[in-house]
Structure 1
């Protein structure tokens, strides 16, 4: 299987993952289990961006393998740290854990293996892809946590300045 094929399969896996999360109320689960201040609009926007990144990485696969490795890194880290570990720790079903185990882990491992076997990437490049994937996951979570801070709240300038003092 080629890196391009795996990239498109990764995109399809992520689409199935989003459907699982939506169907089984990831928002409610993440509020209760992860204590994330997430709303459905946050979910929609973040996942629209993930789909855009997924399409871009699949189209870039022939010329920029790091894009594919980064998307696979995102899938691997998301699956392990946002779904499998919380499920193992709490015993509470995590919306997204099914696709994480059945799709994300096999797809990302196959992508890393194929990149190494074909010479498209070294171990260092795979580690870089994992790091970029981790940062890609951390970015929207950081934004969620920061948006409630007074400095980031929008409104009249005077009201914002009063909250800061």
Structure 2
């Protein structure tokens, strides 16, 4: 499969992941386990943007592989730092999204990198850039959620 095809599969996998998170109440888990003051609106907007990023990544895969690989990097970072590691740190407390993170994100995310390698689009630079940008994308909404209560960012005056 080509990198583009893999990223389309990754986008579909992310949609299933969002469904699992929503149905199993990721918001309350995030509030209670990782202390993130998230609302459902944050979840909806962030995940809508993730879907758009998946579409863009699939379309630019052959021309900009490092940027396109940011999407599967985001998946792998999400799976590891927001599902598998919290599950381990809490000694088995379930993290909504854990099933799809393990069953879909790891194999499909790695499949994207394999697809890029088969297409001749993967080198060390692309891998490093993709994971760096993936980490920034993962951090961006969290930083915004954390700083929005700061008086400088409040718009209710």
Quick check: TM above 0.5? yes
DSSP-derived class of the 1:124 partner: helix
**Structure ID, larger Rg:** 1
Conserved in 2, the CA contact under 8 Å of 1:116 and 1:123?
no
Q: 2:63 matched to which residue of 1?
A: 63
The 5 Å alignment of 1:1-80 reads 1-80=1-80
Residues 126-155 of structure 1 show CA distances to partners (whole Å, capped at 9, x for unaligned) of 121011111001000000000011111112
d(CA) in 1 for partners of 2:98 and 2:30?
Answer: 13
**TM-score if structure 1 supplies the norm length?**
0.91
d(CA) in 2 for partners of 1:74 and 1:37?
Answer: 21
d(CA) in 1 for partners of 2:59 and 2:3?
Answer: 11
Note if 1:133 corresponds to 2:134: yes
Consecutive unaligned residues of structure 2, counting only runs of 5 or more, are: none
d(CA) in 2 for partners of 1:53 and 1:105?
Answer: 18
Shift of the alpha carbon at 1:113?
2.1
Higher RCO, 1 or 2 (CA under 8 Å, sep at least 6)? 2
**TM-score if structure 2 supplies the norm length?**
0.96
The 5 Å alignment of 1:86-165 reads 86-90=86-90, 91-156=92-157
Shift of the alpha carbon at 1:108?
1.2
d(CA) in 1 for partners of 2:117 and 2:132?
Answer: 17
d(CA) in 1 for partners of 2:103 and 2:85?
Answer: 15
DSSP-derived class of the 1:102 partner: helix
Shift of the alpha carbon at 1:21?
0.3
Shift of the alpha carbon at 1:117?
3.3
Segment drifting more, 122-131 vs 95-104: 122-131
